[in-house]
Amino acid sequence: MINIKKEKLTALLGYFAMVLFSVLFIVIGNKVAVGEQKFFARDDGAEILAAKVDKVISREEDRQDMGSVERVTVTIDFEATVIRGEHKGMQLQAQQINDSFMAVGYKEVEAGDKLLLYGYDDGQETHWLMHEYLRSDALIVLAAVFIVLLLLYGRKKGFHSVLALGFTCLSIFLVFIPAILSGKNIYAASFILMAFITVMTLTLVNGFNRKSLSAGIGLFGGLAAAALVFGLADIFLKLSGYVSEESIYLAYVNPANPIDLKAILFAGILLGALGAVMDVAVSIAASLQEVHDSAENPTFASLMQSGLNIGQDMLGTMMNTLVLAYIGSSLSLVLILIVYSNSLLELFNKEMIVVEVLQSLAGSVGLLAAIPLTTLVSSYIYIHKRKS
């Protein structure tokens, strides 16, 4: 009984120690990563306000015959009230202009819509244009519903998962991304981030135990394999890092100290693989613990065989998950490239397609490495614990 209480106290202290460490990592890491860099401080004279449409004043439609096509321009004048910020309550008039030749066509505004208005000064007065629909409020509601459902279903485990997810997002957006934009070494930042996410997540969700240790070792092995695949690919595929229009913009963010675009590819591939490899490693470690605890006389060989069998069943679906996730996230790009490519040979030699394939391959190799390594470590640790 005393030993059980001591184990619970140790686990509780370890849990709060990890929470404290995570908070310190994010706070201190943010200060180190940001340095003298300023974000969201663009000074071009423009102003963005959140507002709610009170009423539509007028709608005008202009049609122009451009030969083979007709150009349609719709101009909508409306009144809106600012709903947040220092100008909250201010009423103003704004316009929405939809042009059929524009790449993006927004739904026409209606009374009750919440918008972001873009203001520019022509020297005499400020003109306001519809910039974007205000979508963040709906996202917050959806996220809140997700968290509530997760807490209802997972209860204590769900709370740990939400906390780990929160620390993961904060570490990416407050530490990792500022580190990249302020010119820090991206490779080093990637390793630090992934080590933090791995240790923090496994500790908060599963606790300080042999299961977390086994899964962590298997996970790091899988990520090392994925990193090796990227290193070999960089040699043989002659990657430049210019895989999209966004890459070109990134190259000119800081001309004095340009961002290493190949390092961005490296970080993206490992971050994409991290979730899938962690899922497999934890699942195998947890399954083998159940097998070990329920078997009357488990052996190292029997646990190894069970782990490899479980890993084989998981491998196909997880590889599909990786491939489908990457294809789904870049479906529009794939469609455009197919339309504007002359042949399959040209298509599969475009760097952006090569990188998409490389992401799937690197993640799959990470899974292949993590499964036997997690099985080996888990089998050894559980059998050694039983003998002790």
- pLDDT (tens digit per residue) in 64-103: 877 777 888 888 899 999 998 888 999 999 999 888 777 5
Q: Please indicate whether residue 1 or residue 30 has the higher confidence score (pLDDT).
A: 30
Same domain, 188 and 159: yes
pLDDT of residue 55: 93
Same domain, 181 and 327: yes
Q: Which tokens is 359 given?
A: 């992401």
In contact, 80 and 91? CB cutoff 8 Å: yes
pLDDT of residue 351: 82
Query: Percent of the chain, pLDDT > 70?
Result: 94
How far is residue 166's CA from residue 45's CA, in Å, rounded to a whole number?
34
Q: Please indicate whether residue 358 or residue 386 has the higher confidence score (pLDDT).
A: 358
In a domain, 359, yes or no: yes
Last residue of one domain, picked from the residues 95, 119, 134 = 134
Same domain, 267 and 175: yes
Same domain, 118 and 141: no
In contact, 60 and 75? CB cutoff 8 Å: yes
Per-residue pLDDT band for 54 (boundaries 50, 70, 90) equals: very high
Same domain, 146 and 244: yes
In a domain, 40, yes or no: no
How far is residue 379's CA from residue 21's CA, in Å, rounded to a whole number?
30
Phi first, then psi: what are they for 49, rounded to 5°? -125, 145
- Give the lowest-confidence range in 182-186, 253-257, 285-289, 384-388: 384-388
How far is residue 200's CA from residue 12's CA, in Å, rounded to a whole number?
14
> Does residue 42 carry a pLDDT above 60?
no
Same domain, 100 and 154: no
Same domain, 57 and 20: no
Residue 52 is part of which domain span? 47-134
The beta-carbon contacts of 195-200 under 8 Å, at least 24 apart in sequence, are 196/22, 196/25, 196/171, 197/168, 197/171, 197/274, 198/274, 198/278, 199/18, 200/18, 200/21, 200/22, 200/164, 200/167, 200/168
- Give the lowest-confidence range in 16-20, 222-226, 323-327: 323-327
In a domain, 383, yes or no: yes
In a domain, 356, yes or no: yes
Residue-averaged pLDDT of the chain:
85
pLDDT of residue 236: 86
Report the 10 Å Cβ neighbour count for 80: 25
In a domain, 188, yes or no: yes
In a domain, 217, yes or no: yes
pLDDT of residue 170: 95
pLDDT of residue 353: 82
Q: Please indicate whether residue 386 or residue 164 has the higher confidence score (pLDDT).
A: 164
Q: Which CATH number belongs to the domain containing residue 95 in this structure?
A: 2.40.50
What SS3 class is residue 370?
Answer: helix
Q: E strands within the chain?
A: 47-65, 70-82, 91-99, 114-121, 126-133
Same domain, 129 and 158: no
Q: What global pTM score does this model have? A: 0.82
In a domain, 41, yes or no: no
Over residues 115-139, mean pLDDT:
86
Same domain, 227 and 297: yes
Per-residue pLDDT band for 39 (boundaries 50, 70, 90) equals: low
pLDDT of residue 121: 78
Same domain, 266 and 373: yes
Same domain, 236 and 317: yes
In a domain, 42, yes or no: no
Per-residue pLDDT band for 44 (boundaries 50, 70, 90) equals: low
Same domain, 154 and 87: no
Last residue of one domain, picked from the residues 111, 134, 157 = 134
Last residue of one domain, picked from the residues 119, 134, 149 = 134
> Does residue 206 carry a pLDDT above 80?
yes
* Total domains, the chain: 2
- DSSP annotation string for 103-155: S--PPPP-TT-EEEEEEEE-SS-EEEEEEEE--HHHHHHHHHHHHHHHHHHHH
Report the 10 Å Cβ neighbour count for 283: 17
- Cα–Cα separations (whole angstroms), residue 334 to 242, 250, 349: 16, 21, 13
